[in-house]
Amino acid sequence: MQLGIKKSLQRAVNIIFPAKCVVCNVLTSEDLLICSECWKDIEFIVDPKCERCGFPFDFDAGSGALCAECHREPPFFDKAFSLFKYSKHSKSFIHKLKYHDQLHIASFLAKLVSHKLQNLYEYRVVIPVPMHAKRIRERLYNQSAVLAGQIAKISKLDFLPNALIKKRYDTPQSKLSGQERKRNVLNSFAVSDNDKKFIEDKRVILVDDVYTTGSTVNECSKALKRAGCKKILVITMARVAI
C-alpha cells in the first residue's frame, strides 16, 4: 500500500517537475541525469594513466608507470583516480552540485564511483576533504562531504564526516596558481582528536570534487598519515588533465 502511494507521488512529481539534463536542460527520463548527447561528450579517464595519481597519459607508458610529478615528489596518498576529465560538460554539473544546491547530483556520481570500488575492498573508511567552518557558513554545505556520504552509503563503507579539520580560512584554491596552491594549504589540515582512533592503521578513501594540482588532497593525506592512517585512496569526480 505504502509502496503504491510512494510511486504515485513520484509520478506526480515527475509530471510537475520533469527531469532535465543537468548539462543542457533538455527533458530526460526520470532516471537519467545527463542526456545521451551530453553523455557522449563526457571524457571518462581510463588507462593508460599514472599508477599513483591517476593522471591520464596520451601514450602507453607500460604497467606501473608514474607521471613526472609523482617521480619528482611522490605524494602522501598511495593511489588516486578521477571519474572524468574536467571539461565544459563535467564543469557544468559539478558547479551545479557545488554552488547551486543540486545535491541529487552527488547520488548519481556516487553510483559511478561505487563500480570503481568493487575491486578495492581493502578501503573501508570514507573521509571528505573538509571546509573551514566560515566557508561552510557562506556555502551552507560542503559538496565533498555530500559526495563522500553518498559513496559510503552506496558502497556500505564507514563514513567519518568530521575526521579532518580545516584549521585556517584560506584564499580559495581556484584563484591561485600551482605553486600558490601548495603554499596556501601547507599544514592547514589536522585530524580530529575524536576520530584518530578510527583511522589508525586503517585504509582510507579521501573524497574531493576536483583534482587540479593535487595540493589539497596531498596535504589532507599528510595529516592522515601522520595520525597513523595506513593507506589512502584519493577519489575525485573530475581531473584537470592539461
- The pLDDT score that the predictor gives to residue 173 is 80
| Global pTM value | 0.89
Tell me if 140 sits within 8 A of 168, measured CB to CB. Answer: no
Task: Give residue-wise pLDDT tens across range 172-190.
Answer: 787 777 788 888 888 999 9
> Cα dihedral sign for 92, 98, 101, 105?
positive
As a CATH number, domain 43-239 is 3.40.50.2020
What is the CA angle 42-31-8, rounded to 5? 165
What is the CA angle 210-100-128, rounded to 5? 40
Q: At 219, phi and psi to the nearest 5? A: -65, -40
- The pLDDT score that the predictor gives to residue 63 is 80
The yes-or-no verdict on residue 16 having pLDDT over 50 is no
- Give the chain's radius of gyration (CA, Å): 19
The yes-or-no verdict on residue 148 having pLDDT over 80 is yes
The yes-or-no verdict on residue 231 having pLDDT over 70 is yes
- What distance in Å separates the CA atoms of residue 61 and residue 238, rounded to the nearest whole number? 22
- The pLDDT score that the predictor gives to residue 10 is 42
Q: Please, which pLDDT band fits residue 30 given cuts at 50, 70 and 90?
A: low
**Between 29 and 24, the higher pLDDT residue:** 24
Q: At 53, phi and psi to the nearest 5? A: -100, -10
CA-based nearest residue to 152, from 192, 198, 114: 114
Task: Give residue-wise pLDDT tens across range 129-144.
Answer: 999 999 999 889 999 9
- The pLDDT score that the predictor gives to residue 5 is 46
Q: Which residues pair with 124 in a beta bridge?
A: none
Indicate the domain borders of the chain: 1-41, 43-239
